[in-house]
Chains A and B, each alone.
Chain A
Amino acid sequence: MVCNEFLTDIILTELEDAVGKENCSTREIDKITHGVDFFWLSRMWADRGRRMPEADFVVSPKDATETSKVMKIANYYKIPVTTWGGGGGSQGGAIPVAGGIVLDTKRMNKIYEVNTEAMYIECGTGAIYKHIEWAANEVGKATMHYPSSLTCSTVGGFLAHRGIGVVSNKYGKIDDMVLQMEVVLPNGDIINTSATPKHAVGPDLNQIFIGSEGTLGVITKAQLRIYDQPEERRFRGFLFQDMHGAFAASRELLQKFKPSVMRLYDEAETASLIKKIVGVEKKGAFMNIAYEGVKEMVEVEEKILLETFAKYGAEDLGSEYGEKWWKEKITFFYPGHMMDLPQMFGTMDTIATYDKIEKIYWAMKNAIETKYPFAKFIAHFSHWYEWGCMMYDRFIIDGEYVPKDPTEALKLHQEVWTTGIRTAIANGGVVNDHHGVGIKLGRFVHEQYGPAMQVLEGIKKQLDPNGIMNPFKLGL
């Protein structure tokens, strides 16, 4: 860590030499803006007039070569390096809690190749995903990665924490969409993972770095799959009397075909968000299904869907609500539609097999609403597999119950998370499904993995012996 003015100036000149003066900053505005991400605690801290931990330097390399130079400098001086993509993460993963260098990837936004024969786009990981989508659209293709943060987050950000989009059921998570990656290791070496992700040449190197949250290196380039635009995309809304029937119906459906969108809202979220944005007034658990692809197959899928869901007593709401949901799928997350300060809130997304997920839901809801009677617990279930699904559960505490003192608010926030995550783990869930770990959940990674943690720690120790990469994140 930089400790005196003289050394700071020396390092600054070296970093400027690496990336160019205009791309190396010690400006206050750069430090402030890289100190607050989407993590509730960082937002609360700033809201209460506190300054978050800030970087000493903000550098923006244009490619792997410049990134390598930065890494060599950082490694020599043993300066922490925190990689920043879009800063839209909710786990504090991009916050430079130990100061040092913030390495902003957004200048690495070049689209190198749109390959319609092999169906991938090769781009710098600083590219905003929406721009990749535009590039795909220009040749009549699509990325099929549509998270709510599509317009604000980078390719690298999604890779760093294993992001997921709304059509994941058919097309997969980001880790299913990567062919090859270029990574700069902490020692400055530039490596490439294998030419294809499917092989028998040992473990998949892609999957070592995907989800590593900047703790093992900097992903600088990636080849991401693109897909044909579907001939047809149809929506169907359903109302289940309770979620139990919805789980059973969905499990059966997924043994038959994969819809693109599957989104089940619990009664509480149906009565709040879905009522407000989509307009569903009836009580129950709303579920939206989209199915897409070749028209003839879509026809067949629709028939299977209606027959399967009818068996479980789902009320067919037609296509209107589903289409409205699709149109508004990102609107949910704009200020004025989302929870916001002074409320305290968080998304404790987890994933589990079908035999456990419902139990986890009730256990977490019960634990949080019992221990914190002023908290609301709502959830939807948005990414489904043949074997289980993920739960996008949120706690919301209205501002009147949130301590005014920021330290006390921080403590309450930590407590609620501890209650929720420990309950998820105890009932067969995992720490997180697709938001990652960051500093928020680092303490639970050891609890989830137990002795298996030594695998991650061993990789970390080998690749980053000086421990400079995103310290205090991912429990590493």
Chain B
Amino acid sequence: MYMSEKSKQIIDACRFCWMCRHICPVGNATGQERNTSRARALGLSVVNRGAAELSPDIMDNIYECQMCEACTCDCATGWDPTYFTKEVRLQAALDGKTPDYINAIVDKVLETGNIYGAKELDADLAAAIKAHAAKEDVILFLGAEARYNVPTAAQNAIKVLEAAGVKFTVLADEPASGYALDWLIGAADETKQQMTDCAAILAGYKTVVAFDPQDAKAFVREYKEYDLKVGAIVTFTAFVAGLIKDGALKVKNTGKAVVFQDPYQLARMLEETEEPRAIVSACATLNEMLLNRKDTVWAGGSFMAIYNPLVSELVSKERWTNAINVGADTIVTASVSEYAALKATAPEGKTVLSIEELVLSAL
């Protein structure tokens, strides 16, 4: 299998180093040695040296990584283990070595644009979207996760912007942003094509408000890498924080005590940690749990909830433990997929709120 010199260099740096073990959400949840950057690097280094094949077993391990970049963020030297992980996913796809359970998701994304293979929108959501069919300068990009997995989140996002009097467009046939393919098979032609098609549509708007941090990350990072031009990208949280600050969105503090779960895409990849806190602080009493801001830990959901649900569940439960340890009854999150995962694993008496739910409750 082809591997770039950069990947080989990172692999050889990481293969005997465990320093980031403590912040890997998967490894901490499963307790499995293979769920470390060190293990993935060691396995691949052994393959690179001809002492093992890139077996289905080793490929499975490549897909036990959430690519959350906690390890990268923690590394004092600056090595990025997700770099080689992503490259191996791409090369495996090119060589026909992608696991079947991943190919099944890829096929769904290629056919429907979402990882669930869903073709029909929730009726209420469809109606809410229809009300914003007119072309405006601002487009609210809901993303596939909200549209097909948590449609109430999408509806609430629309309601928040409506409450602020924002004129905005929501597309009935929203294109896939490409984040899913990028995560699944890296920078394949299919990924680039999906991103190119999406960029062509979004280029017609001055401002793109990305509701889902997964999409926002793709717009800001991968689109830039592929030199795809779109309008100004603003995360939903930054946009709403601005609306509150400007007085366009008037909220009152509900007095509810909450902790905020930083989506790793926002906190680490887009370096956005204070905007969501401004929202939460305006609507509730914000406390902090262990591992916040750029040190945040993934709270489950998304891809792994489909093909490795036990891991996703364990990861979510770990995050609940962090919240409970600081006495929190409510977690607020700005990630659609983490919202779903945390909701599914909420202990009795504990609540997860999406950030848009919190805002709506504070109007």
Give the interface of A toward B (CB within 8 A): 22, 27-30, 32-34, 36, 38, 43, 46-51, 58, 60, 84, 86-88, 104, 106-109, 126, 128, 130-131, 134-135, 138, 149, 151-153, 330-331, 333-337, 340
Contact = CB atoms under 8 A, between A and B. Distances in A.
B76 A334 contact: yes
Interface stretch (B47-55, B83-91, B143-151, B277-285): B47-55
A29 B13 contact: no
Q: Is the interface of A mostly helix, strand, loop or mixed?
A: loop
Interface of B: 13-23, 27-28, 30-34, 36, 38-39, 42-43, 45-46, 49-52, 55, 57-58, 60-61, 74-77, 79, 290, 310, 325-326
Nearest to A338: B17
Contacts of B15: 36, 46
A108 B32 CA distance: 11
Contacts of B36: 33
Contacts of B46: 32, 46, 49, 51
A440 to B, nearest CB: 16
Given A29-B57, A138-B326, A337-B77, A106 B31 contact: yes
A340 B16 CA distance: 9
A149 B326 CA distance: 26
A33 B20 contact: no
Contacts of B60: 27, 29
Contact of A335 (B14, B33, B42): B14
Nearest to A40: B16
Nearest to A153: B18
Given A86-B21, A130-B22, A334-B19, A46 B42 contact: yes
A38 B17 CA distance: 8
Contact of B18 (A30, A49, A87, A108): A87
Contacts of A47: 45, 49
Contacts of B79: 335-336
Contacts of B49: 46-49
Contact of B325 (A30, A84, A138, A153): A138
A33 B55 CA distance: 15
A336 B13 contact: yes
A88 B325 contact: no
A334 B52 contact: no
A151 B32 contact: no
Contact of B58 (A29, A36, A330, A331): A29
B19 A330 contact: yes
Nearest to B325: A138
A28 B51 contact: no
B17 to A, nearest CB: 5
Contacts of A84: 33
Nearest to A58: B33
B53 to A, nearest CB: 9
Q: Which of B18, B61, B310 has the most CB of A within 10 A?
A: B18
A88 B18 contact: yes
A138 B77 CA distance: 28
Nearest to A105: B31
A257 to B, nearest CB: 32
A46 B20 CA distance: 21
B22 A126 contact: no
A340 B74 CA distance: 20
A151 B38 CA distance: 13
Given A138-B326, A333-B19, A336-B13, A50 B51 contact: yes
B34 A151 contact: no
A362 to B, nearest CB: 32
Given A49-B50, A331-B76, A33 B21 contact: no
A86 B18 contact: yes
B17 A109 contact: no
A4 to B, nearest CB: 22
A4 B75 CA distance: 43
A33 B39 contact: yes
28 contacts: A27-B34, A28-B55, A29-B39, A32-B39, A32-B46, A33-B34, A38-B16, A43-B16, A46-B15, A46-B51, A51-B46, A51-B52, A58-B33, A86-B18, A104-B32, A106-B27, A106-B33, A109-B28, A131-B22, A131-B28, A151-B22, A151-B74, A152-B22, A330-B76, A335-B14, A335-B16, A335-B79, A337-B76
Nearest to A22: B310
A336 B77 CA distance: 7
Contact of A138 (B38, B290, B310): B290
The 8 closest A-B pairs by CB, nearest first: A152-B18, A49-B49, A107-B31, A106-B31, A33-B39, A335-B13, A336-B77, A151-B22
Nearest to A134: B290
Given A104-B31, A108-B31, A152-B18, 7 more contacts: A29-B57, A33-B42, A51-B46, A51-B52, A84-B33, A106-B33, A130-B22
A130 B297 CA distance: 15
A425 to B, nearest CB: 29
Contacts of A334: 17, 19, 75-77
A87 B33 contact: yes
A334 B33 CA distance: 19
Q: Which of A30, A33, A49 has the most CB of B within 10 A?
A: A33
A28 B54 CA distance: 10
Contacts of A335: 13-14, 16-17, 77, 79
A1 to B, nearest CB: 22
